[in-house]
Structure formats: structure tokens, C-alpha cells
Structure 1
Amino acid sequence: MTETSLRSVTVERTSTGHFVATNVRGGTVSFGTGAAGDTEFTPVELLLAALGGCTAVDVDVATSRHAEPTVFTVAVQGTKVDDELGNRLTDLAVTFHVTFPDGEGAERARAILPRAVKTSHDRLCTVSRTVETGTPVRATVEQA
């Protein structure tokens, strides 16, 4: 593993049910349990955001070099189930809603859009590729 291939965040508890994740560049995102009245994202919502965000970044890079979109939203959803396999999400779906203004560059962007979404999903997006391949997760406790 090279220095550039390792990805990491640190999660710190800030109070009961509230946490902050910090990346190596110093960026932060707070999240929590999703208790009533709490607006913070839950870990499941962050996973959905990561699924949509990963492909959105790839698609934006591919299409916006030809035309600036007038609408660019990505809806991501899944159904939470608790069965013999435990808690998990099923029926994950990432749906793009993208429009471009009139013009030659926009025609090219519209033509590229389906291929960019497919390429990101099938090959480029680390998040969806990791979920779909079923990469094992190891959880350990480090003794102080």
C-alpha cells in the first residue's frame, strides 16, 4: 500500500450520540444517531451520501468540461432491513437528475452523461465498487 492509496478518517465522540469525523486534510463532518429533533446525518445517511457523491464527482468532471449544468442532483435511497444477515441496506439506487442549457457543448454533455454514470458505477467510484464487491470490515479494540 502506498502513501497515496491509504484513506483514513478519525471519528471522535463529542457527546452522547454525537460524533465528528476528521480527515487528514482537517475537514470535518458531524453526525449522530438521528434522534428526534436531531438534524445531523446518521452513519447510514452518510453512506448514502458517499454512494451518490462518489459517482456525482466522476460525472461532474466528465460532463461539466463541455457545459455547466443548470440542474445537477443525485437522489440516493435504500431500504433498511433486519433479517438473518443482520441490519443492512437493500435495494440501493442512485438516480441522477441533470439538465444542460441549449448549445453545442450541452449536446456533448448530454451524450456523455449516461456513459459517465455507467463508467463511474462500473469502474471508477470506490464507494459503490467497495459496497458491491463486499469487502470485509475488521473491527478491533486497541489496548491503551
Structure 2
Amino acid sequence: MSSTNEDSLRLVTVERTGTGRFTATNARGGTIAFETGDGTAFTPVELLLAAIGGCTAADVDVSTSRHVEPAAFTVTVSGHKVSDEDGNRMTDLAVAFSVGFPAGAAGDRARAILPRAVAVSHDRLCTVSRTIEAGAPVAVSVEEA
């Protein structure tokens, strides 16, 4: 059973800062600039991939780093942008973890729980990928500024 309330609300405001350039601001005042792809800033699709990777990385990090700090921790998220009769979208989304832990008992514990931590993040915890897989509808409206 799901519930929505003031505590469940997440909000980001996107403002145009120039031709093809935008800044997203969260409720805490953090900002991130992005663009349509002409420069080096992230595109909206790259931000989506980063959100998938960041969400699941955070889940897995909490589970594994309580045992030992990882020696290496990289998450690569990929997919193909396609355009067809159904419009533009991403397909073949994939998340790949490359994580190393130091030798020793703590590293062995972290290595042992890594596969389960990744699975639990994917199956239950990562809000971003869970929302994509569930196919949440997006309501769009227009108002005059």
C-alpha cells in the first residue's frame, strides 16, 4: 500500500539559463547544470543514467562499507536511446558494478554480501530504477508565467 504526504514529496525546479542550457535546483538549494548535448555538461538522458547508478550505488555502499571501505567502487550504467513509432526512449538499460575490497575478514564479509546487496537494491530499494521498471505515469501541465 502506498501513501503520499508532505514527507513523501520530492521536488526539483528546472530553469532555462540559456539556449539549450538549464539548471535544476532541489528543495535544499543544491543545483546541477545540464544541457541538450552541445557541450560537456550532462544531458537529461545522462542525468537519468546517473540517477539509476547513483541510487543503487548508495544502497550497495551502505550495505558493504559498514564492513570495510572499498578499495574500488564504480558503477557503470548504459542503455540505447532509440526513436521509433513509440517515440524517443531508452532501451537495454544495464547497471554494472565493479567493486573491490581489501584482503582480510572484513573484505571477505563485504565481498560475500555484495551480490545480495546489489539484488536487494534492484529488487526493492532503488527508487529510481524501481520507478522506471514500474512505469509510473508522468502528468504534464502548462501555466502562464
Task: Classify the TM-score, shorter chain.
Answer: over 0.9
Matches within 5 A, 1:85-124: 85-124=86-125
Deviation at 1:142, TM superposition (A): 1.6
Structure 1: segments with no counterpart, 5+ residues? none
Residue equivalent to 1:59: 60
Deviation at 1:139, TM superposition (A): 1.0
CA–CA separation in structure 2 for the residues paired with 1:105 and 1:142: 55
CA–CA separation in structure 1 for the residues paired with 2:142 and 2:95: 34
Residue equivalent to 2:37: 34
CA–CA separation in structure 2 for the residues paired with 1:14 and 1:143: 18
Runs of 4+ in 1 over 3 A off after TM superposition: none
Residue equivalent to 2:14: 11
Amino acid aligned to 1:63: T
Deviation at 1:143, TM superposition (A): 3.1
Deviation at 1:84, TM superposition (A): 1.4
Amino acid aligned to 1:76: V
State the SS of the aligned residue for 2:62.
helix
Matches within 5 A, 1:35-50: 35=38, 38-50=39-51
Structure 2: segments with no counterpart, 5+ residues? none
Q: TM-score by structure 1 length?
A: 0.97
CA–CA separation in structure 1 for the residues paired with 2:124 and 2:85: 30
Deviation at 1:88, TM superposition (A): 0.4
Is 2:52 the counterpart of 1:22? no
Q: Percent sequence identity over matched residues?
A: 70
CA RMSD for the aligned pairs?
0.7
Deviation at 1:41, TM superposition (A): 0.1
Residue equivalent to 2:75: 74
CA–CA separation in structure 2 for the residues paired with 1:137 and 1:3: 19
Is 2:144 the counterpart of 1:127? no
Q: TM-score by structure 2 length?
A: 0.96
State the SS of the aligned residue for 1:127.
helix
CA–CA separation in structure 1 for the residues paired with 2:7 and 2:106: 34
